[in-house]
C-alpha cells in the first residue's frame, strides 16, 4: 500500500478511535467493560452497513438527487438507525448514568463513521488530504457526537422510568438530526466546520462527564445506605418501613409459606446484589480494583434459579411492587457482564 494511502487512512480513521479511548479512560468508575465497548463499536459498524442498504433503496424510491438526499433524508435514516442500538440498551437496562450513555453513544457513532470512511477511502482514495481531514476530524466526530447527544438526552428523559415511553426518545433524536443537518449545511468552509465540530462536541462531552462524576458518587453513597437499611429491615422482619416490605408481608399472609418465602428470598438477593455492585463501584472510585467473585456469582445463579421457579407471570406481578429502579436493574446487569467477562 503506498505511503500516501496509508497516511490518508490514518487521518480518516484514527481520530475518532483515539477519542473513544480517551472518553473510556475518563470513566473512573469503570461503568463499562472493554468487551462491551468493542461489541458496541461493531454494532455501530453494522449500523453503517444497514444504512448503506437503506439509503440506496430510499434514493431510488424517492427519485431524489444524491446531494439533496444526503442533506435532508440521509441524516434522519442514519441517526434513527444508530439511535436504535442505544434504545435497545435503554430498554434492557444496560445504561445507568449520563457518562456511560455518552460513551456508548459516541462508540456506536465511531463504529458507524469507521465503516463509512473505509467506504469513501475505497471509492475516492485519490481525493485531496483536506477531504480526509474533514472526514476524519469533522464527519467522524459529528457522527459520534450526534449519537452521544441522543444517548445523553434520552438518559436524561428516561432515567426515572423503568417502563420506557417511546415518545421520550424523540427529543434526543431531534437533537442528533439537527446536529447532523447543520453540519451538512454549514454555511462556511468544510475545514472551519470541522474545526468547530472538533472543538465543541468533545468539550460538551468532557464537561458533562466531569459534572456526572460527582452525581455518580452522590447517587452511589445515598443508594448504598438506603439499600443496606432496607435489607436489614426485611431480614429482621420489619416489613412496614417501605412499600416493598408491606407488599411482601401481605404476600406472606395470603400465600402458602414456600411461595412467600421465595418472593422474600428473591427480593433480598436482588437487594444484596445491588449493594455488591455499588460497593464495587465505590471502591473503584478510590482506585481499588474489586472483581466479581465466586460469592456474587453464586448469588446471581441463585437469583436466576428463583426467577425460573417464580415464573414470568409471577415476576411481572411481583416487580412493580418491589420498586426496582432502572439503575437497580442496570447494576445487576453490570455484575452479570463482569461475571461472564473472560478475565473472570
For the segment 12-38, the average pLDDT, to the nearest whole number, is 84
- CA 11/CA 136 separation, integer angstroms: 6
Centre a 10 Å sphere on the Cβ of residue 302 and count the other Cβ atoms it contains.
Answer: 14
pLDDT at 188: 57
pLDDT in tens, 179-202: 998 888 765 567 777 877 888 888
The predicted-structure confidence for 248-266, as pLDDT tens digits, reads as follows 777 766 666 677 778 888 8
Of 227-231, 237-241, 263-267, which range is least confident?
237-241
Average the pLDDT over each of 31-45, 212-226, 317-331 and give the range with the smallest value: 317-331
Average pLDDT over residues 150-172: 84
Q: Which of 85-89, 103-107, 264-268 has the lowest mean pLDDT?
A: 264-268
Radius of gyration of the chain (CA): 23
Percent of the chain exceeding pLDDT 90 equals: 31
pLDDT score recorded for residue 344: 39
**Confidence grade of residue 17 (pLDDT, cut at 50, 70, 90):** very high
Cα atoms found within 13 Å of the Cα of residue 204, Cβ hemisphere only: 19
pLDDT at 322 over 80: no
Comparing 162 with 64, which gets the higher pLDDT?
64
Rounded-to-integer distance, Cα 225 and Cα 176, Å: 37
- The answer for 318, left when phi > 0, alpha when psi is -120 to 50, beta otherwise, is alpha
Across the chain, mean pLDDT equals: 84
Q: Any idea what DSSP says for residue 64?
A: -
Query: Which carries the bigger pLDDT value, residue 313 or residue 328?
Result: 328
Across 263-291, average pLDDT: 86
Q: What is the pLDDT of residue 118?
A: 94
- Is the pLDDT at 88 greater than 50? The verdict is yes
In the prediction, which pLDDT does 343 show?
46
pLDDT at 1 over 60: no
pLDDT of res. 51: 96
Give the per-residue pLDDT at 187. Answer: 53
pTM above 0.75, yes or no: yes
Provide the grid cell at 266: 428473591
Annotate 306-332 with b (16+ C-beta within 10 A) or e (fewer).
bbeebeeebeeebeebbebbbbbbbbb
Amino acid at each position: 500500500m503506498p505511503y500516501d494511502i496509508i497516511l490518508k487512512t490514518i487521518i480518516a480513521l484514527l481520530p475518532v478511535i483515539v477519542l473513544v479511548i480517551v472518553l473510556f479512560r475518563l470513566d473512573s468508575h469503570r461503568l463499562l467493560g472493554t468487551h462491551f465497548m468493542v461489541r458496541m463499536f461493531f454494532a455501530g459498524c453494522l449500523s453503517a452497513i444497514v444504512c448503506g442498504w437503506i439509503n440506496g433503496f430510499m434514493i431510488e424510491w424517492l427519485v431524489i438527487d444524491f446531494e439533496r438526499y444526503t442533506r435532508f433524508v440521509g441524516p434522519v435514516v442514519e441517526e434513527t438507525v444508530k439511535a436504535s442500538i442505544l434504545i435497545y440498551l435503554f430498554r434492557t437496562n444496560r445504561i445507568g448514568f449520563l457518562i456511560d450513555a455518552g460513551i456508548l453513544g459516541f462508540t456506536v457513532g465511531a463504529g458507524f463513521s469507521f465503516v463509512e470512511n473505509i467506504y469513501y477511502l475505497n471509492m475516492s482514495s485519490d481525493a485531496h488530504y483536506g477531504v480526509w481531514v474533514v472526514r476524519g476530524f469533522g464527519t467522524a466526530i459529528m457522527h459520534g457526537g450526534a449519537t452521544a447527544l441522543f444517548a445523553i438526552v434520552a438518559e436524561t428523559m428516561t432515567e426515572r422510568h423503568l417502563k420506557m415511553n417511546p415518545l421520550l426518545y424523540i427529543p434526543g433524536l431531534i437533537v442528533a438530526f439537527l446536529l447532523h443537518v447543520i453540519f451538512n449545511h454549514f454555511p462556511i468552509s468544510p475545514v472551519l466546520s470541522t474545526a468547530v465540530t472538533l472543538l465543541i462536541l468533545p468539550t460538551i462531552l468532557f464537561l458533562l462527564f466531569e459534572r456526572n462524576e460527582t452525581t455518580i458518587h452522590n447517587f452511589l453513597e445515598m443508594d448504598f445506605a438506603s439499600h443496606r437499611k432496607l435489607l436489614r429491615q426485611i431480614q429482621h422482619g420489619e416489613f412496614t418501613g417501605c412499600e416493598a416490605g408491606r407488599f411482601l408481608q401481605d404476600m406472606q399472609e395470603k400465600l402458602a409459606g414456600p411461595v412467600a418465602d421465595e418472593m422474600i428470598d428473591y427480593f433480598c438477593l436482588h437487594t444484596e446484589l445491588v449493594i455488591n455492585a455499588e460497593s464495587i463501584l465505590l471502591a473503584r472510585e478510590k482506585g481499588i480494583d474489586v472483581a466479581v467473585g465466586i460469592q456474587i456469582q453464586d448469588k446471581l445463579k441463585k437469583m436466576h434459579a428463583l426467577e425460573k421457579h417464580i415464573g414470568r407471570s409471577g415476576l411481572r406481578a411481583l416487580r412493580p411492587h418491589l420498586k426496582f429502579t432502572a439503575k437497580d436493574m442496570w447494576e445487576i446487569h453490570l455484575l452479570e457482564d463482569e461475571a461472564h467477562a473472560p478475565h473472570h
